[in-house]
Chain A
Amino acid sequence: DIQMTQSPSTLSASVGDRVTITCRASQRISNWLAWYQQKPGKAPKLLIYQASSLESGVPSRFSGSGSGTEFTLTISSLQPDDFATYYCQHYNSYSRTFGQGTKVEV
């Protein structure tokens, strides 16, 4: 089974900061990686798919990169609405695996 490991688990940041979250896969997964944002009490929201493609309606300050086993989600200038937990997720035609999450807090 493929394992997804995110770092850090918690990230303290301020409005305007550039924030980077890393996700590592236990084996090569090409670019089959997505990123989700979840706020407390809410369902997750898709931000990025295929490692670097921005989901429709998602602000351009969010970007994704990477391939193989190492991936990053970058928020270029953190906004108040961005304080949330972020999850990476590997996907293929028959399974999906989430990372453990990264909480971005003040």
Chain B
Amino acid sequence: EVQLLEWGGGLVQPGGSLRLSCEASGFTFSNYAMGWVRQAPGKGLEWVSSISYDGAVAYDADSVKGRFFSSRDNYKNTLFLQINNLRADDTALYYCAKISTVSANFDYWGQGTLVTVSS
């Protein structure tokens, strides 16, 4: 069974940093691209970042470019999102998700980790 477990969220002051983690199990993690999607409270979905199966290539949304960085450790089956210079509008539930090689879309999602940016 595919499982994605995120952690690392929390309350952080504006300008602060966090590192989100997502541990994968139930599939060969190193074979799949992965991504991050966030959802502000009561709002819609926003794609944040995607990273290739080997971590060689990552793409980020314009809203986070230069502040958020995706990486992965294929030996530890773990995806990371380093988030820097946080702003109030970064407050959201952050989901990690697996990208299907068939559909090229997010076919499995974690339960999300909440990031709250507030002073």
- Give A residues with C-beta under 8 Å from B: 1, 34, 36, 38, 43-46, 49-50, 53, 55, 87, 89, 91, 94-101
Bound Cα distance A91, B62 (Å) = 15
Counted as pairs of residues, one from A and one from B, with CB atoms less than 8 Å apart, the total is: 55
Contact status A101-B62, CB under 8 Å: no
Q: Which of B50, B59, B104, B106 contacts A44 (CB 8 A)?
A: B106
Interface string of B71-108 (1 = CB under 8 A from A): 00000000000000000000000010100100111110
B50 neighbours in A (Cβ, 8 Å): 94, 96
Within the complex, what minimum Cβ distance (angstroms) separates A3 from chain B?
12
Identify whether the interface residues of A are mostly helix, strand, loop, or mixed: strand
Contact status B110-A43, CB under 8 Å: yes
Contact status B103-A34, CB under 8 Å: yes
Within the complex, what minimum Cβ distance (angstroms) separates A47 from chain B?
10
Bound Cα distance A70, B46 (Å) = 21
Contact status A95-B105, CB under 8 Å: no
Contact status B106-A38, CB under 8 Å: no
Q: Which of B44, B107, B111 contacts A46 (CB 8 A)?
A: B107
Bound Cα distance A95, B110 (Å) = 20
A36 neighbours in B (Cβ, 8 Å): 45, 106
Contact status A87-B44, CB under 8 Å: yes
